[in-house]
Structure 1
Amino acid sequence: MSININKGNTETPTRLLNIAFRVDASLHIGSGHVMRCLTLAAAIRKAANVNITFFCRDATGNSNENIIQSGFELVRMAPPKNTIDLKNYSSWLGTSIDDDCEEFLKLTAGKNYDLIVIDHYAIDNHWHNKVKSITKKIMVIDDLANRKHNCDLLLDQTYQCSTVKYSHLINNHTKLLLGSSFALLRPEFLDFQKASIVKKERTLLIMFGGTDPDNLTLQVLARVIKLKYFERINVILNKTAKNVKSVFNFALCHKKVFLHISPSNIAEIMSTATLAIGAAGTTSWERCALGLPAVVIVQADNQREIANALQLAEVIRFISIAEIEGKLIKEIEFWQNRLKLSNDVHKNCINICDGKGTVRVTNEVLKVIE
């Protein structure tokens, strides 16, 4: 049943595979975990005969509608009981790990799975051990490396991620997929790569993930709107973002600001940009695949290491939230001058992430469950 989707193999396995995803999204934790799981799920569905079910807590600001619109079965878990503390990852379930696992097992209704994929900072080997009886294999998507995992496949798409990071947290049989060459990006980022590199427009992109809980979009807009260099400013926000109405009103007052709410053509919109201002995380790999340099605003301490590495690779410049007022315009001017001198920046970006990571991960997933 081995399928190499790199070669366009259209063979379909006769046995129906059952795969479950355990992942959450909310106003607090954002939508990035769900979005990358949807990307992987779509690629697996295209390559294999498979039934895929998402198990997600019904939190405020969830991405459940995106899952349903993508054509996947959704099982809604109970809303969070407890307050989520962003600095305390174990609280991100909104309940205890035992209660979450018991609810998951009850909702599976006695089903057995070929694979359970877990993308959740609050879930560790304790949860994995409890679900081992209903699945042949377990896959974990992580980047924190702050807890133990009992899994068969572990994906960390962080740039320059090494095996040392997880050596004390996994079993001997765990296969590691490490580095930005495994970044889970939708196919359209590769489709728009060439067009993005040759673009000539003076367009700025502002994109701080789906929900932008810190309202960075408005903070940035208030400063860049005065710049004459950019002829157009594209802003991308999810419709569940709590400040979407304020950004909408800002865009109404400024002709060169265009707000895109939950667009289906994110890669196309991004490909028209000369420069981006945004967050660390998954969007870093999306920008790199499009050859798009950026000013990144670090929102958490765990983002600093990767931001520093990407700055050394000359694909981003990063600042903290506290530095927006004093440094943002200076960093934009840095990129304006740098891009006039050389096109190497675009090559540097694509060397970090070529946009083919989803294909690589999908092939490894099918190998594990064959």
Structure 2
Amino acid sequence: MDVLVAFRADASVQIGTGHVMRCLTLADELARLGHHCLFVCRDHEGHLGDLIQRRGFELCMLSDGAGLRSESGGSASSPYSDWLGVTWEKDSQETQEALSGRCATWIVVDHYALDARWEREIAEHLGQIMVIDDLADREHDCAVLLDQNLGRAHTDYDGRVPPHTLRLIGPHYSLLRPEFREFREEFLKRRQAMQCRRILISLGGVDRTNVTGRVLSALETSSLASSTKLDIVMGSSAPALEEIRSQAANSRFDATVNVNVTNMAQRMGLADLSIGAAGSTSWERCCLGLPSIMVILAENQRLIGEALANAECALLIDESEIPEALPPMLDKLLETEGALERFASNAASVCDGNGASRVAAIMTGSDLH
């Protein structure tokens, strides 16, 4: 049975790229199964419309809503209200207009500024709702809720979703591209007698406050060998991209800057350590057993970071602590015998890379139609 799935997610300099990227992963899996997917996105600065179309998906682009922002754009107390750019009512109306005449089986919404009010409006006129969330901070009215975060419990959504909602909770359902599953066994074999010869540095697709630059400056003062390779990954919309290129060129390390990479699994597999954001890429690192120092860039990343730190999969550092705390943290990690191997083994146990196929199977199975 063919399924039409519409995705409502945004990327921007403010929002970042993670919401759209994980939706693309699920869309890829659904397309592989023969189903049709389309994206409804708003034309914010830093949107990923071109990437969505290059991946072969239909795109409906909504206007950026400049000048139409309102306190009612999201939940009244939500710090993410202005991410939408318009009121939730207007967004619902425009989404319905974009999908007019399309018989969508599912609407997947991945947006911190939208909640049960938007979902009820959409479901009344379109298909079933699936919500992707990380926060457990507002009500949803949906058939399926996905929260892929370690440390999250089913009970965190008690009273926030209807009793009939199927809750898919934890990294078992993390939305990873198939190459992570495919390379997992090969790269896990490398996590023995580890030495830190190569570090992957990736602080999000946008990194609008240039955390990457602060990390590079801090590494210069560490005892890390100058022969260490630094693989710095950034998005083309990162405001400090040229500054980072200059910083890398003058580094004492063998540092390279790579933009809009399409082989992140291979890069993670070849790295011995990652310094990265505590966001959705956490599960990619876990799948390939990559030890990491995780940087908290926003409060919505703290649950993930603390859960992985408690499981001894990663070390955790706040953005503000980078200059003083990162060098001694790194030095201690590399001086502790067996630490990298222990972190790698613990990380690999968290996520097996099959989450996207599990979620797609649930969405396209007969039990929910």
TM-score in terms of structure 1 length: 0.91
1:143 equivalent in structure 2 = 134
Q: Is the 8 A contact 1:156 1:178 kept in 2?
A: yes
Q: 1:103 and 1:343, CA in 2 relative to 1: closer, same or farther beyond 3 A?
A: same
Aligned length: 355
Q: Secondary structure at the match of 2:349?
A: helix
Structure 1 position 306, deviation (Å)? 2.6
Q: Does the alignment pair 1:61 with 2:61?
A: no
Q: 1:341 and 1:350, CA in 2 relative to 1: closer, same or farther beyond 3 A?
A: closer
* Structure 1: runs of 5 or more not aligned: 1-12
Letter in 2 for 1:79: D
1:4 equivalent in structure 2 = none
2:3 equivalent in structure 1 = 17
> For the residues of structure 2 that align with 1:228 and 1:140, how far apart are their CA atoms?
43
Partner deviation per Cα, 1:180-231 (whole Å, 9 max, x = no partner): 1111000111222234330656101110110011201011111213544352
Q: Secondary structure at the match of 1:352?
A: coil
1:131 equivalent in structure 2 = 122
> For the residues of structure 2 that align with 1:31 and 1:157, how far apart are their CA atoms?
17
Structure 1 position 165, deviation (Å)? 0.5
Q: 1:359 and 1:337, CA in 2 relative to 1: closer, same or farther beyond 3 A?
A: farther
Q: 1:342 and 1:30, CA in 2 relative to 1: closer, same or farther beyond 3 A?
A: closer
Letter in 2 for 1:193: R
1:285 equivalent in structure 2 = 283
Letter in 2 for 1:212: D
2:163 equivalent in structure 1 = 172
Q: 1:89 and 1:344, CA in 2 relative to 1: closer, same or farther beyond 3 A?
A: same
Q: Secondary structure at the match of 1:343?
A: helix
Q: Secondary structure at the match of 2:129?
A: strand
Q: 1:44 and 1:161, CA in 2 relative to 1: closer, same or farther beyond 3 A?
A: same
> For the residues of structure 2 that align with 1:18 and 1:340, how far apart are their CA atoms?
49
Letter in 2 for 1:66: L
> For the residues of structure 1 that align with 2:237 and 2:113, how far apart are their CA atoms?
23
Q: Is the 8 A contact 2:291 2:340 kept in 1?
A: no
1:298 equivalent in structure 2 = 296
Q: Matches of residues 58-207 of structure 1 in structure 2 within 5 Å?
A: 58-82=43-67, 88-197=79-188, 198=190, 202-207=197-202
Structure 1 position 369, deviation (Å)? 5.0
> For the residues of structure 2 that align with 1:113 and 1:187, how far apart are their CA atoms?
25
1:237 equivalent in structure 2 = 234
1:354 equivalent in structure 2 = 352
Structure 1 position 294, deviation (Å)? 1.0
Letter in 2 for 1:213: R
1:325 equivalent in structure 2 = 323
Moved more, 175-184 or 317-326: 317-326
* Structure 2: runs of 5 or more not aligned: none
Q: Is the 8 A contact 2:285 2:291 kept in 1?
A: yes
Partner deviation per Cα, 1:40-88 (whole Å, 9 max, x = no partner): 00001112x3221100000001111110111000010101325699971
2:249 equivalent in structure 1 = 252
Q: 1:130 and 1:345, CA in 2 relative to 1: closer, same or farther beyond 3 A?
A: same
Q: Is the 8 A contact 2:275 2:293 kept in 1?
A: yes
Letter in 2 for 1:274: D
> For the residues of structure 1 that align with 2:198 and 2:70, how far apart are their CA atoms?
37
Q: Is the 8 A contact 2:6 2:107 kept in 1?
A: yes
Partner deviation per Cα, 1:250-277 (whole Å, 9 max, x = no partner): 2233461111100111111111111111
TM-score in terms of structure 2 length: 0.91
Q: Is the 8 A contact 2:30 2:37 kept in 1?
A: no
> For the residues of structure 2 that align with 1:115 and 1:369, how far apart are their CA atoms?
11
1:7 equivalent in structure 2 = none
